[in-house]
Amino acid sequence: MKTRTAACAALLALAAITSCSSDTKADPAACKAAMKEQFAEAIASGKEGSRPDACDGIDDKTLQKLAGEVIGDETGKELEKSLDDIEASIDASLEDLETAAP
């Protein structure tokens, strides 16, 4: 749970970083993909993220939108996984109760 919190904090910090001006064409899809990759790494290792190079040239408003989408998508997946784990645990407990009855 702490790593998920750290990952969310890292992406929120990323979203707060001001945009850097760049002459290259910004690619929001590439930026979002890089942020997803960084988010997965943060969950796995607890490593704090920073603004991916793929996000250079993305304006602040778009960057914050992308970060929000990544956080929403990835935490939604984690929540769904947690709920599935809870459901499996409850099912296993109910099976134990059913087989224990005389």
- Cα separation, 58 vs 29, in Å, equals 11
What was the pLDDT predicted at 31? 96
Q: Where are the domains of the chain?
A: 2-74
CA 98/CA 48 separation, integer angstroms: 46
Three-state DSSP at 12 gives: helix
- Give 65-99 pLDDT, tens digit per residue: 999 999 999 888 889 999 999 999 998 888 877 66
Measured between its terminal Cα atoms, the distance across the chain in Å is 40
Give me the pLDDT at residue 86, please: 95
Planar angle of CA 24, 47, 55, nearest 5 degrees: 10
Please write the tens of the pLDDT for every residue from 11-43.
555 554 444 444 457 899 999 999 999 998 988
User: What distance in Å separates the CA atoms of residue 86 and residue 70, rounded to the nearest whole number?
Assistant: 24
> What ranges make up the beta strands (E) of the chain?
none
